[in-house]
Chain A
Amino acid sequence: DGGITQSPKYLFRKEGQNVTLSCEQNLNHDAMYWYRQDPGQGLRLIYYSQIVNDFQKGDIAEGYSVSREKKESFPLTVTSAQKNPTAFYLCASRGPRPQPQHFGDGTRLSIL
């Protein structure tokens, strides 16, 4: 089945640690996105990539980094510079505009 796989589903981080969230898609989509959701809020864009080896900052990129070395993969690293990393993280991909985005099941990150 075509889709987006995020792993792990739950992730715990110690203070001062970097952690990487995985996002893989087999939909052959060029565009991929990372969002963050906090309780009671909508989705906020962290980073997005329109093509391999290219990515742009979203609205809340500080404390995060990404790479796009392969079309299928768009990992997100939450660095120690992110002061409030506890949140639910969603990855999405999209074909040519105006197609809708397809979402993974998300990763919930918590600080120990």
Chain B
Amino acid sequence: ILNVEQSPQSLHVQEGDSTNFTCSFPSSNFYALHWYRWETAKSPEALFVMTLNGDEKKKGRISATLNTKEGYSYLYIKGSQPEDSATYLCAYSAAAGNKLTFGGGTRVLVKP
């Protein structure tokens, strides 16, 4: 079983503050790195799919970077809002096969 780790497991952020958290994954046989946002009582929603080393993606106040050589990705939330409260999941896709291996998630709580 591949090892995909996310840290921290949870974090509390004051409204308006920026934050970031990490996903580490195997650097060999890399194909893609996915980020999903999972709000309570909803289904996980795709944020980004990143495939190239050095890739940076942005969606509103949320952005992500990718380093495939060292096997990590950062997700950044700028100016956090209460609606950003969710669990953020990363998932690694290897070159061979059609499955994703998910990390344990980072649970973000934005306090007003």
Contact = CB atoms under 8 A, between A and B. Distances in A.
B31 A90 contact: no
Contacts of B44: 90, 101, 103
Nearest to B48: A100
Q: Is the interface of B mostly helix, strand, loop or mixed?
A: strand
A41 B1 CA distance: 15
B55 to A, nearest CB: 11
Interface residues of A, number: 26
Given A97-B93, A98-B32, A100-B49, A42 B104 contact: yes
B11 interface: no
Given A43-B89, A97-B31, A99-B49, A33 B104 contact: no
Interface string A83-95: 0000000100010
A99 B102 CA distance: 16
